[in-house]
Amino acid sequence: MTDPRISPDNTARRDQRNVRIGTRGSPLALVQARQIAASLEVASGGALRGEIVPFTTTGDQLTTERLINSGGKGLFTRELDAALDRGDVDITVHSLKDVPAVLPSGQIFGAFPQREDAREGFLSPHAEKLADLPKGAKVGTASLRRESQTLALRPDVEIVTFRGNVATRMRKLEDGLADATYLAMAGLTRLGMAHLATPIPMEDMLPSAGQGIIGVVMREDGDAEVRETLGGIDHAETRAAATAERAFLAALDGSCRTPIAAHLFDRGEEWELIGEVLALDGRQRWRADGTCRKEASEAQLAALGRDVAADIRAAAGGVLPAFVDEW
């Protein structure tokens, strides 16, 4: 006898297949993974069912201060990459800005769903924006990019190392450990907390390459139905941005200790990529930009990223690589 309390909609379809989704276990990561699960279900007409498999990554375990900048690449992806390799999960879901510029071999991006607000958010109980902070104020961040960008605008402020998930950083701010901090608007928006921050104009603070983008990774030889369904949730403009910004990153990021920012802007008729590299103390900043047609291929978008990177190297007059290595 069937239980009348179970509606047919909630009964697992016999032809429905599980897709195991590897993700970090942080609140933001889980929101993102659930979004992908829901999209997969819709895009496959109910044939695929997402099953969230949370992992603790090295980056989640380490509590050392400068971990993002000192521990090498892939701190937040290593365990997920291995699980995907072994076939323990079918896909992995990442904040693209935490994914190293080059994917592990055998892995590809199956989808870049539509980008969320890529701007940085400014959070402070005392001020609306960086310029309003009193002289010598403390700004909390663990990001070398945010540190150097802040010092470029406000050499007088003191940078204090600030990490942890969104809730932790908010608490540190409330406890007065810093007068202000930054969080990506994308993460705040996904967590329903965008109202806590003031978006910073892109021109004032260029975000990290890939900021606001979710990357869905699968094995090159992965399941054809999963691959096709991921193709259905891929967003062309977002893929264009991911491609150009990551090519720029790959061309410059010899060291993960380099403050680098990049964003692909929609200028109506064409794309414009703006890239930026800074000295850690913010006293030097190199910016370059380039454009390409909206119809550009992925190869052309990647070339745009490399060209802008080359322009920055040229502008830095050869000082960049050695300089960067010392950081």
Catalytic center residues? 98
245 binds ligand PBG (CB under 6 A): no
- Number of residues interacting with ligand PBG: please give it, by CB under 6 A: 9
Torsion of CA 263, 267, 270, 276, to 10 degrees: -30
Task: Tell me how far, at minimum, the Cβ of 183 lies from ligand PBG, in Å.
Answer: 4
Task: Tell me how far, at minimum, the Cβ of 184 lies from ligand PBG, in Å.
Answer: 4
Task: Tell me how far, at minimum, the Cβ of 291 lies from ligand PBG, in Å.
Answer: 24
Residues 207-236 that bind ligand PBG (CB under 6 A): 211-212
Question: Which of residues 130, 137, 151, 186 is near ligand PBG by CB under 6 A?
Answer: 186
What phi and psi values does residue 115 have, to the nearest 5 degrees?
Answer: -65, 140
123 binds ligand PBG (CB under 6 A): no
90 binds ligand PBG (CB under 6 A): no
Question: Which of residues 95, 148, 149, 229 is near ligand PBG by CB under 6 A?
Answer: 95
Piece in contact with ligand PBG (CB under 6 A), picked from 42-50, 92-100, 104-112, 171-179? 92-100
26 binds ligand PBG (CB under 6 A): no
Helix (H) or strand (E) holding 242: helix 236-252
Say which residue the tokens 């040229």 belong to.
314
Strand partners, 91: 21, 218
How many Cβ atoms from other residues are within 10 Å of residue 82's Cβ? 14
SS3 state at 182 = strand
24 binds ligand PBG (CB under 6 A): no
The tokens for 310 are 């080359």
111 binds ligand PBG (CB under 6 A): no
97 binds ligand PBG (CB under 6 A): yes
Rounded to whole angstroms, how far apart are CA atoms 91 and 181? 33
Rounded to whole angstroms, how far apart are CA atoms 151 and 154? 5
Task: Tell me how far, at minimum, the Cβ of 32 lies from ligand PBG, in Å.
Answer: 8
Q: How many residues does the chain have?
A: 327
Phi-psi region of 160 (alpha: psi -120 to 50; beta: other; left: phi over 0): beta
Chain contacts with ligand PBG (rule: CB under 6 A): 95, 97-98, 183-184, 186-187, 211-212
